[in-house]
């Protein structure tokens, strides 16, 4: 049986878009419930400016709680050298650096050019102690909320600069807007994987704005990708990408990969229960289809009193 690795990003990508502050203990409870459902890798939080994203001001506490769960790999997103230093000081062992191919989106997101972010990335690599891992997130790899479709050669050129020094990392190509279609996903991964054949692993991060999240994940799977980001209940939406709704729902991807016979190690019933809890968070923007389909099926199967 083939295997697939799901990276649950709800505790970071999902929570960061919620306006009302979520109590830290509730965040920890969600992380714990996702772990108990079988997820063994999560983007637990992000070390970012607390004034820009106050929802994630409790990053140190959430990371510590996630690290206490046996066998869980909690990665944390970092956009700058300063935040990487903060994350490493807090004990992070798996960093996820993010930058955008699009100049406009990178300036909106981290207030600098993509070239400046490339230098930040190189500096962070030099900071990382032995045993710390890196995940490289290439946002707007396919499409930009401000400028539209991103030419493949522009994404590949940025990867040339990023992978110049080190390729023993995982690289995620991110559909930040959710506007791309499967053909584009397949062709860009094919080109990137052929050009950078010695990259350790490839991942796909998709949004479901146009209902293409699962279809795009399938296209990436068929291209050879085996690591996929998703968010419980489709929670989220990039605050720096106008119009982008939530990530593809974790339960939708688990349903897809279960159907393909790919083992994720995740219990669908337990996952659906967590998803229902997440939809009750004040201010949460949720999506996905499988959760509601399971609820409807259960209603049909229950006898009428």
Please tell me whether residue 286 adopts helix, strand or coil conformation: coil
With 0-12 / 13-18 / 19 or more C-beta atoms within 10 angstroms meaning exposed / middle / buried, residue 20 is exposed
Please tell me whether residue 227 adopts helix, strand or coil conformation: strand
Q: Is 283 left (phi over 0), alpha (psi -120 to 50) or beta?
A: left
pLDDT of residue 303: 52
Please tell me whether residue 172 adopts helix, strand or coil conformation: strand
pLDDT of residue 304: 45
Query: Any idea what DSSP says for residue 165?
Result: S
CATH number at residue 122: 3.20.20.70
| 174 is a catalytic site residue | no
**Residues forming beta bridges with residue 287, ordered by sequence position:** none
Q: Is 195 left (phi over 0), alpha (psi -120 to 50) or beta?
A: alpha
Cβ within 8 Å of residue 1, ≥6 positions away: 261, 262, 263
| Tokens at 26, concatenated | 């509730």
Closest CA to 114 of 147, 70, 68: 147
Number of domains the chain is built from: 1
Q: Which residues of 273-287 are buried (b: 16+ CB within 10 A; e: fewer)?
A: ebbeebeebeebbbb
Closest CA to 243 of 105, 61, 57, 38: 105
pLDDT of residue 297: 74
- Render each residue's pLDDT in the chain as its tens digit; 305 residues: 799 999 999 999 999 989 999 999 999 999 999 999 999 999 999 999 999 899 999 999 999 999 999 999 999 999 999 999 999 999 999 999 999 999 999 999 899 999 999 999 999 999 999 999 999 999 999 999 999 999 999 999 999 999 998 999 999 999 999 999 999 999 999 999 999 999 999 999 999 999 999 999 999 999 999 999 999 999 986 555 555 568 999 999 999 999 999 999 999 999 999 999 999 999 998 999 999 998 887 665 555 44
Which domain, by its residues, includes 63?
5-301
**Residues forming beta bridges with residue 203, ordered by sequence position:** 172, 227
pLDDT of residue 241: 52
Distance CA 276, CA 257 (A): 21
Angle at 133 between CA 155 and CA 12, to 5 degrees: 70
């Amino acid at each position: 049986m083939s295997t697939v690795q799901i990276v649950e990003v709800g505790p970071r990508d999902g929570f960061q878009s919620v306006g009302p502050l979520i109590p830290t203990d509730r965040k920890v409870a969600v992380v714990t419930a996702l772990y108990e459902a079988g997820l063994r890798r999560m983007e637990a939080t992000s070390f970012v400016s607390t004034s820009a994203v106050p929802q994630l001001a409790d990053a140190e506490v959430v990371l510590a709680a996630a690290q206490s769960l046996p066998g869980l790999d909690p990665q944390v997103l970092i956009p700058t050298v300063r935040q990487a230093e903060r994350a490493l000081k807090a004990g992070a062992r798996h960093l996820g650096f993010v930058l955008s191919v699009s100049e406009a989106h990178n300036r909106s997101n981290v207030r600098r050019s993509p070239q400046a972010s490339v230098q930040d990335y190189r500096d962070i690599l030099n900071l990382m102690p032995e045993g710390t891992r890196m995940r490289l997130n290439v946002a707007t790899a396919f499409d930009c909320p401000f400028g539209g479709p991103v030419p493949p050669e522009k994404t590949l050129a940025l990867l040339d600069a990023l992978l110049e020094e080190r390729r023993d990392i995982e690289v995620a190509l991110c559909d930040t807007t959710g506007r791309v279609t499967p053909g584009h996903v397949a062709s860009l991964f094919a080109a990137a994987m052929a050009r950078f054949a010695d990259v350790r692993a490839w991942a796909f991060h998709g949004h479901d704005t146009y209902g293409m999240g699962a279809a795009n994940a399938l296209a990436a799977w068929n291209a050879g990708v085996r690591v996929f980001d998703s968010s419980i209940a489709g929670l989220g939406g990039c605050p720096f990408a106008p119009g982008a709704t939530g990530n593809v729902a974790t339960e939708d991807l688990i349903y897809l990969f279960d159907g393909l016979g790919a083992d994720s190690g995740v219990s669908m019933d337990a996952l659906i229960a967590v998803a229902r809890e997440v939809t009750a968070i004040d201010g949460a923007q949720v999506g996905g289809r499988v959760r509601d389909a399971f609820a409807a099926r259960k209603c049909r199967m229950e006898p009428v009193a």
